[in-house]
């Protein structure tokens, strides 16, 4: 198996997770079988650590994880593994927050590792972003006043009619210092991270760590924050529900996140023994 060992990178929303935010039984069984047969599975997500760790444990992973679209690359169960944290300069963050205020977006949130700064209390955003509200220190109040450290990322929750304008403003005013990506459906959340940060940065580091050649890297995704990762992977797989831009650059298109796309692809591509289960 050593020579044919693959590194399998899984995006969460719209990819590993169904629309109800769970891992289907078929996909879970297939991923676990791939691990049993010696393949390495990692999560690569725009989500913060706290909103992805439950899925990490559900799959019984003991591998590094890519959070915040590459702005945090760390190992949840091995403190000796050197984490890479690449936050936004606070001055840049405050300029972007002002852009958001100018446009009248619904809300803005800053993540500082697992500390959270929320511009206005927002039950909808809380439901999206917190798997355990008790464990996350949350500061609520004007980000222009409260945020005094370099944030790992900014999450912007615009009105649907403002998405295009907001992204154009981010391109025009801040493109030399930031990357901005849209999260998977059904949320219109725009995530902002430091320039040069994307999931492929983390995936390359993890592949090097495990001595996995690029051609043996399999990556699954559905949104524009997966573009670099899918392009880097020797086997880039777009979900059936993925944006057209991602499908265009991928090596394969599988079924949707609602139809066990990951499970069906891995079963066939890796010739896993779950086919008889």
43 and 66 Cβ atoms separated by less than 8 Å: yes
Distance of CA 188 to CAs 45, 57, 110, 195, 218, Å? 16, 27, 16, 21, 27
3-state secondary structure of 107: strand
Q: Which two tokens stand for residue 269?
A: 């591509």
237 and 251 Cβ atoms separated by less than 8 Å: yes
Closest CA relative to residue 174, chosen from 147, 156, 188? 156
Q: For this structure, is 11 an active site residue?
A: yes
Distance between CA atoms of 232 and 234, rounded to whole angstroms?
6
Catalytically active residues are: 11
């Amino acid at each position: 198996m050593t020579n044919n060992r693959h590194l399998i990178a899984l995006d969460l929303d719209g990819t590993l997770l169904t629309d109800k935010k769970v891992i289907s039984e078929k996909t879970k069984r297939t991923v676990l079988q791939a691990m049993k047969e010696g393949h390495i599975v990692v999560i690569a997500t725009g989500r913060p650590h706290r909103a992805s760790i439950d899925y990490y444990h559900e799959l019984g992973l003991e591998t590094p994880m890519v959070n915040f679209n590459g702005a945090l690359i760390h190992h949840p169960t091995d403190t000796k593994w050197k984490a890479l944290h690449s936050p936004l300069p606070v001055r840049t963050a405050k300029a972007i927050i002002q852009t958001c205020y100018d446009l009248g977006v619904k809300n803005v949130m800053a993540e500082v590792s697992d500390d959270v700064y929320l511009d206005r209390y927002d039950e909808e955003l809380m439901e999206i972003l917190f798997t355990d509200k008790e464990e996350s220190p949350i500061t609520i109040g004007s980000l222009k006043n409260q945020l005094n450290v370099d944030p790992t990322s900014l999450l912007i929750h615009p009105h649907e009619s403002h998405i295009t304008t907001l992204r154009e403003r981010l391109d025009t005013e801040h493109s030399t210092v930031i990357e901005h990506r849209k999260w998977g459906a059904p949320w219109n959340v725009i995530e902002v991270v430091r320039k040069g940060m994307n999931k492929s940065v983390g995936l390359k580091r993890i592949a090097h760590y495990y001595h996995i050649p690029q051609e043996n890297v399999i990556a699954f995704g559905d949104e524009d924050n997966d573009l670099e990762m899918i392009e880097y992977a020797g086997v880039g797989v777009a979900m059936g529900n993925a944006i057209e831009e991602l499908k265009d650059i991928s090596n394969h298109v599988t079924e949707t996140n609602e139809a066990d796309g990951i499970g069906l692809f891995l079963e066939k591509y890796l010739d896993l023994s779950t086919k008889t289960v």
